[in-house]
Structure 1
């Protein structure tokens, strides 16, 4: 049913394909009769070569012409279906939330867009015409066999139900294996992706053998499932061959007897034998196509799961310019019933600078994901300028939020394209963002400057350079709110301080929220929020927290003892 639903919008194209296929097959069915008439005419002594030859050439010409047309249409149809389906899938994924992508598993989505899509395209390209052709040929040859000699035909045709039962039994098991094979491919893609992306760290910690064993396990599972599929499928061909040989034996024994006794002409015997051959071939084709059909059906079911997934409803309609006021009211986020954030509440004034500090796994990054709308809270409310975040139009809202991720995301494009990632970025805002992120001197040293190509995943750039490019990308949009996720972790203290000063000077009305583990760069911020184990432990200015929060003092003192900057600053202050 799923595949029929897929092909429904392309019914006109499919009808043309079926029409060309049937005309070519009809001509194919005529050839044995032409040969039969030729043999009988020759035996009777009234053989006319030119007539037989012309009839034969016309039939062959029709087969050639409509086979070409069939190939053109089926190729176009498969590419059209593949293009449209890939577009639908891509659009669906792009409209879904970040949480959906994580839950659906990026490796599985990649398989949906590649291997699953190829299986569906292959079925449209070869499966549809082959099924129609095979069924038509089976019915057509059966009719001609019955016309020539119905008694002999019945003996041959009785073998078809046996073949059909064998198909049903084997295909039922094949389908289960094909579903399992796609799951294994998802797993294998994930292992390969992690091994390639983590190649550097794998070699540094000398864990190649561990990763190799993970790959072998996934690859071995894929091999075992593949062997199970091939083993099941391999039993089809011997079965068909057995029944075909049985039919041939029946024809030779009984058909030969009928020719000798004069109840069947030599031409009809030759035609009968040719039709049996034509009958066997489509049965073999159905065997191959059944494999393709089972695979395509399993693949399309997986694609349908994504296409039919409930979309994240964007019910917001407000499209106003943000001032930058932010308030969280008892916000909680859970992952598998484990709290990442627990009843978090705080306020951020427009144009202010707020730092969120805390140890690893405190829930700092999840907090930023909430503020960008990438994930939704399980409980609580998030307000921007006093309005619930869900009431804003998603596109308008996110265009006003700049987010610098902790992990740098670089694309294999020019520096200009990596920074001016949106079409709304002007040359003026681009230049301002580059200066603010302290990138101008670095770009000026490059031969092609902003037109320099960035290598895949930015491997030719240092960690600090990538982080500053990420910051420039966020600032180029002239956001009202800027969220920084430990973005200066790979930048030295002096550059970090200059960047923060640049942001304050060049974007004075910007609301800044910076997640960091270092207190020194943010000690003069308007508000510092201490987050530990998903809870707000304390909040206030640096001096207030030093006087009221033992947890803050402990973190501050531990950093102070290892920071020359902090020591020198305290001496100057004293």
Structure 2
């Protein structure tokens, strides 16, 4: 809840003004039954039609003022909530964008998505409603009690006796609501995860005719969400009927006692009418307080989930790390580096998030059964073990190995998406942990294995808001071979790519992504399986262009094809996270059986 107050404090002047308007409107609303009682008991007996009309018009005026002030306050509250949640979402998006790879995996993409959407909606709804209901409900409750006490203390005691019981029930149920709604939001994470998987993989689902299977899987998760939501709302709904019963019983007692006191001449009939109105006002106020506590339960659960992301510690920057014994001509050094993706042992929730991050599609989480940590470790056991090598400035390194051997992990560690479990990684003689994030990553031009084309023009996809010149973009497109098809597109570089490049072929997308990496004239160029969709001719032309036009750049090329890496200065052969061999193409043919088998298998096809 502290998170919500911190963001609301930014708009305290507007909130104060808004709550003042709501306070005046509520006071005007409270005056209406009192004015009615005055007209019935004091004005009508005088027999003056003029006074009745005058007081009737005054009551009508107060009703209009009440409505105007309440509507104004509600609109202002919505605006403040919209501004507050806009800033909160921006901060959450910024924080999410800067999470380390380990922390991103720990939260999980589905969970981060639901925190950005449904959780932020719960917080926004609370921000909007609390500014008005937190004023109206208490004032109507307290004001109604005070006014009824001034009219007839004995009748007011009936209500006063019931209030502690009602408030006790509300507080007791509300305390149970926070963990219930936290479980609901966890189920929302599950639903978002399955929806995301199916939307992104819809072609695979259709190609394998697995629509029914995926519908069943979604149904299980959706049903689990529905059960949690129904259970939470059923518990939170208990105070409502209980309050209505108590207050209606109290209202009946007031009517009976009031009738006796009117018959005895102790009070006037207008007091009974005003009392009934105030009783209804107090009933609505208590129900309003109940709704506030329900919103507090939802908002607190959601705010805690958001705060967990916002308060996550950033990657530690260690400025005083020793330079290490790295020669001046060495651009990159891996010094006995080991790494494990597995999240350290923790809570079951943390384990579940980690499993989700790794794509483990287990029904255990949906059915509330604990996840088998041994299976989890087995799934997450992709490691690097004791990797050491140097790349000199301007040289190239090819990395080859079977799927899952740790090739991409080396890049993740080099760019500090993750920190090594053991050992050190140096770039330009400095430990990567001593670099500011931008200072390190601005050195790189990179094409990832599962890179993305954005819904933007071809020019925009290559430039990526870096302010590059048209000459640099055109040159990079020529070198990657992309200009061959770009010039044939309608609009050329202004051609609008669809989301994920759906209106482009695989080879066209890869060439655009390579152009993006080359356009910034990087100091270190990384191509992670970026030529898999290129024909041999285009692949060979790309490697030639890199040698001739980007000879000063240190190049790391990850590939499945031996032909893509055989011209590199050195080649690193990985197998199951271990460094099998390191050397030139000719050296590896002589000394590395695994490399020789890969070469013979591919080149004899």
Tell me, yes or no, if the aligned pair for 2:384 and 2:406 is still in contact at 8 Å.
yes
Tell me, yes or no, if the aligned pair for 2:41 and 2:269 is still in contact at 8 Å.
yes
Change (3 A) 1:192 1:330: same
Q: Deviations over 1:19-45 (max 9, x none)?
A: 111111111111111111111135523
Which range moves more in the overlay, 195-204 or 157-166? 157-166
Task: Verify: 1:473 aligned to 2:503, yes or no.
Answer: no
Whole-angstrom distance in 1 between the partners of 2:518 and 2:320: 25
Task: Verify: 1:405 aligned to 2:408, yes or no.
Answer: no
Whole-angstrom distance in 2 between the partners of 1:522 and 1:423: 30
Q: Which residue of the partner structure matches residue 379 of structure 1?
A: 422
Q: Deviations over 1:66-106 (max 9, x none)?
A: 21331232012101111111122122223322332222211
Whole-angstrom distance in 1 between the partners of 2:512 and 2:22: 57
Pairwise mapping of residues 445-524 of structure 1 onto structure 2 (< 5 A)? 445-524=488-567
**Which of the residues 61, 67, 70 maps onto 1:67?**
70
Give the C-alpha shift of residue 8 in structure 1.
3.0
Whole-angstrom distance in 1 between the partners of 2:212 and 2:406: 33
Whole-angstrom distance in 1 between the partners of 2:279 and 2:329: 81
Task: Verify: 1:306 aligned to 2:309, yes or no.
Answer: yes
Q: Which residue of the partner structure matches residue 27 of structure 1?
A: 28
Tell me, yes or no, if the aligned pair for 1:400 and 1:478 is still in contact at 8 Å.
no
Give the C-alpha shift of residue 315 in structure 1.
4.9
SS in 1 for 2:174: helix
SS in 2 for 1:326: strand
**Which of the residues 272, 284, 287 maps onto 2:287?**
284
Tell me, yes or no, if the aligned pair for 2:329 and 2:392 is still in contact at 8 Å.
no
Tell me, yes or no, if the aligned pair for 2:102 and 2:341 is still in contact at 8 Å.
no
Q: Which residue of the partner structure matches residue 345 of structure 1?
A: 388
Give the C-alpha shift of residue 422 in structure 1.
3.4
Give the C-alpha shift of residue 317 in structure 1.
10
**Which of the residues 327, 331, 334 maps onto 1:328?**
334
Which range moves more in the overlay, 80-89 or 356-365? 80-89
Change (3 A) 1:6 1:447: closer
- The runs of 4+ residues in structure 1 deviating greater than 6 Å are none
Q: Which residue of the partner structure matches residue 5 of structure 2?
A: 4
Whole-angstrom distance in 1 between the partners of 2:197 and 2:601: 35
Task: Verify: 1:127 aligned to 2:133, yes or no.
Answer: no
Structure 1 gap ranges (5+): 563-574
TM-score, length of structure 1 as denominator length: 0.94
Q: Which residue of the partner structure matches residue 571 of structure 1?
A: none
Give the C-alpha shift of residue 471 in structure 1.
0.6
- Cα RMSD of the aligned pairs, angstroms, is 1.9
**Which of the residues 171, 191, 198 maps onto 1:195?**
198
Q: Deviations over 1:462-502 (max 9, x none)?
A: 11111111111111111011111111111111111111111
Tell me, yes or no, if the aligned pair for 1:116 and 1:299 is still in contact at 8 Å.
yes
Task: Verify: 1:296 aligned to 2:299, yes or no.
Answer: yes
Whole-angstrom distance in 1 between the partners of 2:558 and 2:437: 23
**Which of the residues 575, 588, 591 maps onto 1:548?**
591
Give the C-alpha shift of residue 215 in structure 1.
0.6
Whole-angstrom distance in 1 between the partners of 2:42 and 2:528: 90
Which range moves more in the overlay, 284-293 or 25-34? 284-293
SS in 1 for 2:522: coil
Give the C-alpha shift of residue 309 in structure 1.
0.9
Structure 2 gap ranges (5+): 322-327, 343-376
Q: Deviations over 1:291-326 (max 9, x none)?
A: 2221111111111101111111345599xxx98711
SS in 2 for 1:325: strand
Give the C-alpha shift of residue 428 in structure 1.
1.5
Give the C-alpha shift of residue 404 in structure 1.
0.6
Q: Deviations over 1:361-419 (max 9, x none)?
A: 11000001112222211111111222222233321321120111111301111111111
Whole-angstrom distance in 2 between the partners of 1:524 and 1:447: 37
**Which of the residues 411, 414, 432 maps onto 1:389?**
432
Q: Which residue of the partner structure matches residue 41 of structure 1?
A: 42
Which range moves more in the overlay, 36-45 or 544-553? 36-45
Give the C-alpha shift of residue 5 in structure 1.
3.9
Whole-angstrom distance in 2 between the partners of 1:274 and 1:57: 16
Tell me, yes or no, if the aligned pair for 1:40 and 1:265 is still in contact at 8 Å.
yes
Whole-angstrom distance in 2 between the partners of 1:19 and 1:290: 22
Tell me, yes or no, if the aligned pair for 1:355 and 1:522 is still in contact at 8 Å.
yes
Tell me, yes or no, if the aligned pair for 2:335 and 2:389 is still in contact at 8 Å.
yes
Q: Which residue of the partner structure matches residue 572 of structure 1?
A: none
**Which of the residues 462, 478, 484 maps onto 1:441?**
484
Q: Which residue of the partner structure matches residue 569 of structure 1?
A: none
Q: Which residue of the partner structure matches residue 525 of structure 1?
A: 568
TM-score, length of structure 2 as denominator length: 0.89
Q: Deviations over 1:207-239 (max 9, x none)?
A: 222222221111011111121123223333221
SS in 2 for 1:313: coil
Give the C-alpha shift of residue 450 in structure 1.
0.8
Q: Which residue of the partner structure matches residue 237 of structure 1?
A: 240
Whole-angstrom distance in 2 between the partners of 1:324 and 1:379: 21
Tell me, yes or no, if the aligned pair for 1:107 and 1:187 is still in contact at 8 Å.
yes
Whole-angstrom distance in 2 between the partners of 1:494 and 1:375: 35
Q: Which residue of the partner structure matches residue 56 of structure 1?
A: 59
Give the C-alpha shift of residue 424 in structure 1.
3.5
Task: Verify: 1:155 aligned to 2:158, yes or no.
Answer: yes
Tell me, yes or no, if the aligned pair for 1:479 and 1:510 is still in contact at 8 Å.
yes
Tell me, yes or no, if the aligned pair for 1:21 and 1:70 is still in contact at 8 Å.
yes
Whole-angstrom distance in 1 between the partners of 2:115 and 2:441: 28
Change (3 A) 1:34 1:7: same
Q: Which residue of the partner structure matches residue 325 of structure 2?
A: none
Q: Deviations over 1:130-167 (max 9, x none)?
A: 12210111000000111111111101221112211221
Which range moves more in the overlay, 92-101 or 322-331? 322-331
Task: Verify: 1:538 aligned to 2:581, yes or no.
Answer: yes
SS in 2 for 1:503: helix
Whole-angstrom distance in 2 between the partners of 1:265 and 1:395: 79
Tell me, yes or no, if the aligned pair for 1:141 and 1:279 is still in contact at 8 Å.
yes
SS in 2 for 1:525: coil
